[in-house]
Amino acid sequence: MHSPLQTQQPEHRSRPMMMTSTVSEIEEVIIPDEDDSNTTTTTTLLNASNGEQIRRRVSGKSLVDGGNRRISRQQSFSREIGHAAAETYLVTRLSFKLLRYLGVGYRWMTRLFALACYAMLLMPGFLQVAYIYFFSSQVRRSIVYGHQPRNRLDLYLPSNNDGMKPVVVFVTGGAWIIGYKAWGSLLGMQLAERDIIVACLDYRNFPQGTISDMVTDTSQGISFVCNNISAFGGDPNRIYLMGQSAGAHIAACALLEQATKESKGESISWSVSQMKAYFGLSGGYNLYNLVDHFHNRGLYRSIFLSIMEGEESFEKFSPEVRLKDPVVGKAASLMPPIILFHGSSDNSIPCDASKTFTDALQAVGAKAELVLYSGKTHTDLFLQDPLRGGKDELFDDIVSVIHAEDNDALTKDSLAPPRKRLVPELLLKLGREVSPF
C-alpha cells in the first residue's frame, strides 16, 4: 500500500455521553489474594448516564472455582431470549412495512432471489463465523449504547490483554435497509487476531428510521466507544472510524457533521480529533449522482427519496456536496486523514464515487487518499477475499495503517500465519457471479 498516513495524537478529551439507561456492561474480574484462600471480586460498571466507571469489591471464596483466576461476564439468559424475541417481532413487522413500500417490482425481486442464492453458496463460511460469533468469549454482543431501538454494538476483543489496544469503530452496510452489526463479524474477528479491538455498530434501518436517524445513531455509538472503550482495554487515543457501502456514507456524514459542530464551538460528546483515521470502503458520498443508478438496480427512486428524506435533503446528506459550503469546507480541516478504498469493478457503487469525494476533500485541504483495487467488485473486498483466506490486500492495507507507529505490532504482522480458507474456491467464484451487489 501507499505509505501510511501519519497523524498526531489527539489532545482533546470529550465529555461523557448522556444516556437514559443506567448500566450498559458488567464485567467481573476475580483476583485471588496472596494465600489463594479468599478472593476479591472487582465489578466494573459502565455507568451509561455519565460514562464513568464504578468499581465494587466483594470478597468470598465461593466466587472462585479451584482458586484459579478467571474473567467472566454475567448475562441473564432470560433477558437474551426476550431480546431475541423482541428483535424477531420487530424485524417481521418492519419487513411487511417495507414490502408495502416496494410493491411488486421485477428488479428488486430478482435481486432478492440472487441474494438468497449468494448466501447459500457462501453458507459454509457464514456458519463458521456464526459459531464463533455466538460462542466465543472474545465477542461481547449487543452492548447498549443508546435508548433508541437497535442502539447496540458488538465488541470483538483480542485474546491477550497486554496493554491498551487500537480500536476500529465499524459501521456496516446494507443499502440503508438491511444493515446489521453482525455483518461485520468476519472483519471483527480477523482484526482481533491482530490485537485490534473492533466495535460494530447497529443503527436504525429504513423504514424504522431515515437517514437522519441513522447518522444520529452512528454518532451516538461513536461517542459511547470514545468514552467507554478504555474499560475493555481499548486506547481512547487510537480510534479509527470505518464504514462499508451505505455504512461508509453514514459514517462520513456523522464525521463531517461532528467536525462542523466542533468548528462552530457547539456542545459535543466526542471529537473528530479522537479519530486517528477514517476508512471508507466502497461508499457513495454524493446522493445526486447515485439516485438514478440505484433506481436502475432495484432500489427505486421513490424508496431512495423516502430513505433520504426527500430530494431537498440530498445536499445535507451528501458529504461531497457539503464541502462546497465555505463553513463546512473549513471544518473539514479538523477531520482526520481519510483513506477511501474501492474496487474498480464495483457495479453497486461505481468507484467514481470515491474518486470525486477524494478530489473534493483534497480541494478543501483535507488529508485524503484513494486506494483502488483492480478488478474487485463490491463484495470481493468485504466478503469473498476474507473468506478465501491467505493474503488479503485490503486487510493488510488497513492493518498497516493502524500499526504504522507500533514496530512490535508490525513485526508480529509480518510473522502472522496465513489465514485459513473458509469457503471452497468454486463456491466463491459462483457466488461472485450471482451476487446482486
Q: What is the number of H-type helices and E-type strands within the chain?
A: 15, 12
Calculate the average pLDDT of the chain: 82
Give a three-class secondary structure readout of 216-233. HHHHHHHHHHHHHHHHHC
Output the nine-digit C-alpha cell for 240: 479509527
SS3 71: strand
Output the nine-digit C-alpha cell for 422: 473458509
Annotated catalytic residue, options 142, 185, 223, 245: 245
**pLDDT tens digits along 212-250:** 999 999 999 999 999 999 999 999 999 999 999 999 999
Q: Which residues pair with 57 in a beta bridge?
A: 42
In which element (H, E) is residue 53 found? strand 53-59
**pLDDT tens digits along 285-332:** 999 999 999 998 888 898 999 999 999 999 999 999 999 999 999 999
**pLDDT tens digits along 19-48:** 333 333 333 333 333 333 333 333 344 444
Annotated catalytic residue, options 217, 346, 380, 392: 346
Answer for the pair 259, 270: CB distance below 8 angstroms, yes or no: no
Does 107 have pLDDT greater than 70? no
pLDDT score at 20: 36
Q: Are strands 70-72 and 152-156 parallel, antiparallel or unpaired?
A: unpaired
How far, in Å, CA of 208 to CA of 306, rounded?
12
How far, in Å, CA of 289 to CA of 13, rounded?
37
pLDDT score at 298: 81
Q: Is 406 noted as a catalytic residue in this protein? A: no
Annotated catalytic residue, options 24, 348, 354, 378: 378
* Mean pLDDT, range 141-163, rounded to an integer: 93
pTM: predicted TM-score of the whole model, two decimal places: 0.78
Q: Which residues pair with 139 in a beta bridge?
A: 156
pLDDT score at 64: 40
CB atoms within 10 A of CB 327: 10
pLDDT score at 78: 59
Q: Is 346 noted as a catalytic residue in this protein? A: yes
Q: Is 245 noted as a catalytic residue in this protein? A: yes
**pLDDT tens digits along 355-386:** 999 999 999 999 999 999 999 999 999 999 99
How far, in Å, CA of 368 to CA of 372, rounded?
13
